[in-house]
Amino acid sequence: MRIKEQVLSIGQVRELKKLGFDVKKHSSMCYLPYYNSSLYKIDGYTLDTIERNDSFHSIPTMSIGDIIEVLPEKIKTYSAIADKELYFYLRVTKAEVIYAPLIIDDSLSCSNEDKFINILFDTLVWCIKQKHIEL
């Protein structure tokens, strides 16, 4: 698996920032593209507003491991049918990321992407929007 398939893209990082998520706080990786002018583009994004060093731009990103560490281990929800609170627990496999109860008869799937990093990203965005992750 190439590095590009193991980290969030610049567009995904920007989307998380718009949601109020502090990517830097949870990041263990950075894009470090070399530049030799004041304007540089990567993945179609202009990097003139991102942190600079003498010879490169530093753009925080999150790896697969970073995202898994941030995702809540369990999500509490209320079931009107059962008239009680239920807990869904994070399950990560090579092909999917789901929240499922201990008895697997129902689950919460947050993505139907094909690339694992995109599945994790969609799950992270879903958790942020559902307020399962504090900002």
Among 10-24, 42-56, 70-84, 92-106, the minimum mean pLDDT is found in: 42-56
CA distance 55 to 75: 43
Q: By residue range, what is the domain housing residue 22?
A: 3-63
Whole-number pLDDT of residue 50: 45
Instruction: State whether 59 and 71 are in the same domain.
Output: no
Q: What distance lies between CA 106 and its chain's CA centroid? A: 23
Residues 71, 125: one domain? Answer: yes
In a domain, 48, yes or no: yes
Average pLDDT estimate for 83-92: 84
Whole-number pLDDT of residue 112: 62
pLDDT computed for residue 104 by the predictor: 57
Q: Grade residue 20 by pLDDT with cuts at 50, 70 and 90.
A: very high
Output the average pLDDT for the chain.
Answer: 76
Three-class SS of 41-91: EECCEECCCCCECCCEECEEECEHHHHHHHCCCEEEEEECCCCEEEEEEEE
Position 58 scores a pLDDT of 66
Whether residues 79 and 104 share a domain: the answer is yes
How confident is the model over 28-57, as a mean pLDDT? 52
Band of residue 70 on the pLDDT scale cut at 50, 70, 90: very high
Say how many domains are in the chain: 2
58 closest CA partner among 32, 39, 38: 32
Does residue 77 sit in the same domain as residue 116?
yes
Q: How is the chain split among helix, strand and coil, in percent rounded to 5? A: 25, 25, 45
Question: Is 90 exceeded by the pLDDT of residue 87?
Answer: no
135 domain residue, yes or no: no
Which residues have CB under 8 Å from 116's CB, separation 6+? 5, 64, 94, 95
pTM more than 0.75: no
Instruction: Tell whether 134 is covered by a domain.
Output: no
Shared-domain flag, residues 99 and 125: yes
